[in-house]
Amino acid sequence: MCATCGCGPSSHTHSHEGDTFDHTHQQETGARAHSHHKQKVDVEKDILHENNLLAERNRGYFEAKDILALNLVSSPGSGKTTLLERTLTDLKEQADFFVIEGDQQTTNDADRIHATGTRVVQINTGKGCHLDAHMILHALQGMKPSANSIVFIENVGNLVCPAMFDLGEKERVVIMSVTEGEDKPLKYPDMFHSSTLCVINKTDLLPYVPFNIEKARENVRKVNPRLEILEVSCLTGEGLSSWYDWLKEKLIDNPISAVTQ
């Protein structure tokens, strides 16, 4: 799947080791199998170490300019872009917004954000299934977000790999929708563990799907008791005011408030 984050290298290696690899692999001694595994972990560590250094650089950039940076993560189709469209439209008079859009392919989401009148930069990750700090650094150099603004980063729809990559954001917002099942926090704990807010979206569909919202909350708490939870419907607008309040609170927490009081 992904060419860089370590979720694909084993299948990548297999395809280049020749037809005999599987056979050889099965016959490896325990020690050899162990060293093969260890090598892979070291590579992942190097990639993440480099990413973390660049993420700190991005964080420094955001802090120097009093920019509030938020990383929006979810599985595909949970409503990241729709939440952004609503937010950018409803709060446009109250703050300056910039958006970095990450997708494997297409400019669909960037086009939707552009239609709200917001400055947006698209990053196509190709085979990559996450954004990394280096991509964000480049996007920031091109976009030059203004001081005291809010930068939203919409990550690639994926609950696994983006969890590992710090982008230098202040807050990580994980969105889950009621059509996905309430077990997602348990199945993808890293993402829920590393986030600061969980938005449960598409609550307008609750009458039609077997989704137990209390069970979902309980599962979130099991993985991360500190994770704040909001319930919204981006379709009807229900609950969005609590999301806006949360956002404004975070802006006020920032050294220089970006929100017009």
Ligand X SMILES: Nc1nc2c(ncn2[C@@H]2O[C@H](COP(=O)(O)OP(=O)(O)OP(=O)(O)O)[C@@H](O)[C@H]2O)c(=O)[nH]1
Nearest approach in angstroms of CB 23 to ligand X is 39
78 binds ligand X (CB under 6 A): yes
87 binds ligand X (CB under 6 A): no
Q: Cβ closer to Mg ion: 81 or 233?
A: 81
Distance between CA atoms of residues 51 and 102, nearest Å: 17
Task: Look at residue 205 and give the partner it binds from Mg ion, ligand X, none, a contact being a CB closer than 5 to 8 Å depending on partner kind.
Answer: ligand X
81 binds ligand X (CB under 6 A): yes
The binding track of 61-100 with respect to Mg ion, each residue x by CB under 5 A or -, is -------------------xx-------------------
Tokens 């692999």 label which residue? 25
Helix, strand or coil, per DSSP, at residue 103: strand
Residues 232-251 that bind ligand X (CB under 6 A): 233-235
Bridge partners, residue 177, by sequence = 201
Residues 166-195 that bind ligand X (CB under 6 A): none
Q: Which range binds Mg ion by CB under 5 A, 6-14, 91-99, 109-117, 169-177?
A: 109-117
Residue 132 token pair: 């990394």
Long-range residue pairs from 61-65, CB within 8 A, at least 24 positions apart, any chain = 61/140, 61/168, 62/151, 62/168, 62/169, 62/170, 65/145, 65/146, 65/147, 65/148, 65/149
State the Cα torsion 100-101-104-108 to the nearest 10°. Answer: -150
Bridge partners, residue 119, by sequence = 98
β 228-231/150-154 pair status = unpaired
155 binds ligand X (CB under 6 A): no
Q: Which residue sits closest to ligand X, CB atoms considered? A: 157
Nearest approach in angstroms of CB 159 to ligand X is 10
DSSP 199: E
Q: Cβ closer to ligand X: 79 or 168?
A: 79
Distance between CA atoms of residues 71 and 167, nearest Å: 8
109 binds Mg ion (CB under 5 A): yes
Question: In degrees, to the nearest 5, what angle opens at C-alpha 150 toward C-alphas 149 and 151?
Answer: 120
Among 202, 219, 223, 227, interactor with ligand X by CB under 6 A:
202
Among 74, 118, 195, 196, interactor with ligand X by CB under 6 A:
74
Tokens 């989704």 label which residue? 211
Residue 184 token pair: 């997602």
Contacts to Mg ion by CB under 5 A: 80-81, 109
Contacts to ligand X by CB under 6 A: 74, 76-82, 109, 157, 201-202, 204-205, 233-235
